[in-house]
Copies of this chain bind each other. A is one copy, B any other.
């Protein structure tokens, strides 16, 4: 899995950036100037690199916060093609980023990136738009946690992950995708217990809506799932995404 294609991350990053902004291939090409500084992380290894930004090349990462008594809150996942800053706003940070399984990142020095942004305003804009997309995902997370039931939360999250993986070409044609995340972590993401996550998947399986084995998910009936939770596809939010499909009566 790790190391399957050396340049995929660039394509993925560009795909995302071009969806949220009007960055051209040509403008993006400037990033070729960056030294490809790769770093591999083991499962649950903390990714700490002040002064750098990370682009996920392979695997998943997660941002989380721990409480003194051991409770863990998982804020979001970063999937291949995602870019994020690793510099804490201020040292003494309480939230961390770790690798979900084995993961590989491309590290970009803040200074190098700022140089590129200064030279290419379009790139800077694209990056800010990407940050706004991140904020939107966090909003989804708040929606799930505040007013959706456990059943709805799981569905909503699966749809969002599927949606995001689709943007970077990592979902299968049969609505399937890899989700290398143990139930315990999903629980910490959705504010539930691992036990209830398990029960919810069982229910979804019984209802024929979702198939799931270890690390593999197949959405058997995306349309119904979308309706159940009123899921708002990311395409609707991307300035340069395709228009909403016909029949959207909302």
Show the binding face of A for B, using Cβ within 8 Å: 65, 67-68, 71-75, 89-90, 92, 94-95, 128, 131-136, 138-139, 141-143, 145-147, 188-191, 230, 232, 236-239, 241, 244, 250
Contact = CB atoms under 8 A, between A and B. Distances in A.
A94 B237 CA distance: 10
> Looking at A146, A237, A238, A241, which has the most chain B CB atoms within 10 Å of its CB?
A146
Contacts of A188: 146-147
A210 to B, nearest CB: 21
A150 to B, nearest CB: 12
Interface pairs A-B: 10 shortest CB-CB: A145-B145, A146-B191, A73-B147, A73-B146, A71-B147, A138-B138, A73-B143, A89-B237, A135-B135, A75-B142
Given A89-B132, A147-B67, A188-B147, A94 B232 contact: yes
Nearest to A20: B89
Contact of A139 (B67, B95, B146): B95
B147 A146 contact: no
B141 A67 contact: no
State the oligomeric state as a number of copies: 2
A230 B68 contact: yes
A134 B94 CA distance: 16
26 contacts: A65-B143, A67-B230, A68-B230, A73-B142, A73-B143, A73-B147, A75-B139, A89-B132, A89-B136, A89-B237, A90-B236, A90-B237, A92-B244, A92-B250, A94-B232, A131-B131, A131-B135, A134-B135, A135-B135, A135-B138, A142-B142, A142-B145, A145-B191, A146-B189, A146-B191, A147-B191
B89 A239 contact: yes
B236 A92 contact: yes
Nearest to A95: B139
A161 B141 CA distance: 21
A170 B63 CA distance: 32
